[in-house]
Structure 1
């Protein structure tokens, strides 16, 4: 399927040219992982702690320890201190059993995601790479990126939304089809930040125009945030945060104020920051990043 180069932000159907469908996703190879019972090597674990009968769930403090939040004893102190919630209910007693796959667990308000059955990768897409996994025209694609972990290379991954070919920066790859679909759906309005190098000096009048919003050919657009990073007579750097997805929207915004984009990079999606990740490399989402995104898309 032909790639649409004129894409800069997420579309509503991130799977249209992926190599697998969400239904196939159920049969995909999973990331090597152990069950919470196998994975826990916490020295505070009581030797008499028997495995729960099926249906009873797992002790809350054990789930927190397995997730890397704290040691077993520190997790118990967190519970006693009123810092842990399950499904919106404050838990104060020890021994509460939960089902981490379906219960929503929070510590200090931060979502603790369930044990991972899927892989969620942050990729710094190079300029000139097409936002598809395969390309019939033979152009470089996301599927050509060589990951440090060979196990990632074997997965059948979806790209979450798109970046146009000339735009570099943050894109998420995953084998979780439902997550990919929800992240790209406009209903959830996940904000995305872009750093644009533009021609000329961006004066305060232009910045105010951007902040108030513009009317483009396909309707009005109002950024969530506009931040001037630097400016000179010949060029300026501006960070623009948006939560909507329209073709080449940042480039069209800057064209409309007579400051064409020279270079564009996506630097953030929700809580996920590109940071110092080198171009062409990948890392996994952190626990806090994934938990926040799952909340944002009601998963």
Structure 2
């Protein structure tokens, strides 16, 4: 893509009028490839240059779709389940944009929560590939009262049938009536890894929800609904794999 004026790129990204974007540049709020640009007339390639405003990444322009979905329990992570079970197609069918989407990674049928849908194959590959180590956050309701030392044990790692597994962060949020509510961060993407890890630790999972994927947060998005990623979210998502 040919280089174009920086203020035009900012305006096209929805940051305001050309005049407002000029003010942002003059105020030293814009950086390109790590360098503050505070003079008018700078030209950039928005496809390859990393542009930030107030520290937030401006994602490169493209025609791809990026969607955050709150998958309900009981829905198969597939756009067309070969066994005829309820799948994502029933949710995506209500989307106005007819572009074909696919899911980044999977959630078990009995697991709810944050799922990314896109048609950007390159970004999807990076987000799902173990080498990029994108962190996911889960909240789990487990059997039993979790002992004080379990977090340290899970961080150190537990041997599973396909190799050792560990969490990056572990927090007990509540304990009541013989069950515990826990939250954990993990960057491993192996099949049913959270359920298998907690089961091996002696606390089988009864309910499991993914609440974050990299910089994205589920927030108050209702189960079975979706929304397009915001500009800052998408910029942060690109950062999460480029800085890995």
Is TM > 0.5 for Structure 1 vs Structure 2? yes
The CA distance in 2 between the partners of 1:224 and 1:147, in whole Å, is 36
What SS does structure 2 have at the residue aligned with 1:229? strand
Q: Is the 8 A contact 2:103 2:117 kept in 1?
A: yes
CA apart distance, 1:254: 1.2
Aligned length, in residue pairs = 243
Instruction: Map 1:34-183; keep pairs closer than 5 Å.
Output: 55=2, 57-146=3-92, 148-151=94-97, 154-183=98-127
Contact 1:147/1:282 (8 A) holds in 2: no
In the alignment, does 2:242 pair up with 1:298? yes
Deviates more, 1:71-80 or 1:261-270: 71-80
d(CA) in 1 for partners of 2:40, 2:65: 32
How far apart are residue 148 of structure 1 and its match? 4.9
SS of the residue corresponding to residue 171 of structure 1 reads: strand
CA drift of 1:224 comes to 1.2
Q: How much has 1:81 moved relative to structure 2?
A: 2.8
CA deviation profile, 1:236-260 (whole Å, cap 9, x unmatched)? 1111111111111111111112111
TM-score by length of 2: 0.92
Query: How far does residue 139 in structure 1 lie from its aligned partner after superposition?
Result: 0.9
Quick one: higher RCO (CA 8 Å, sep 6+), 1 or 2? Answer: 1
Secondary structure of residue in 2 paired with 1:150: coil
Moved over 6 A (4+): none
Flag the 1:213–1:70 CA change in 2: closer, same or farther, 3 A. Answer: farther
Taking only aligned residues, the RMSD between alpha carbons, in angstroms, comes to 1.9
Q: Give the stretch that moved more between structures: 116-125 or 83-92.
A: 83-92
The 1:70/1:183 distance shift into structure 2, 3 A limit, reads: same
Q: What TM-score, normalized to structure 1? A: 0.76
- Which is worse superposed, 278-287 or 70-79? 70-79
Structure richer in strand, relative to its length = 2
The answer to whether the 8 A contact 1:125-1:170 is kept is: yes
Match of 2:173, SS? strand
Give 1:181 deviation, angstroms. Answer: 1.4
Q: Which has the larger radius of gyration?
A: 1
1:229 to 170, 173, 176: 173
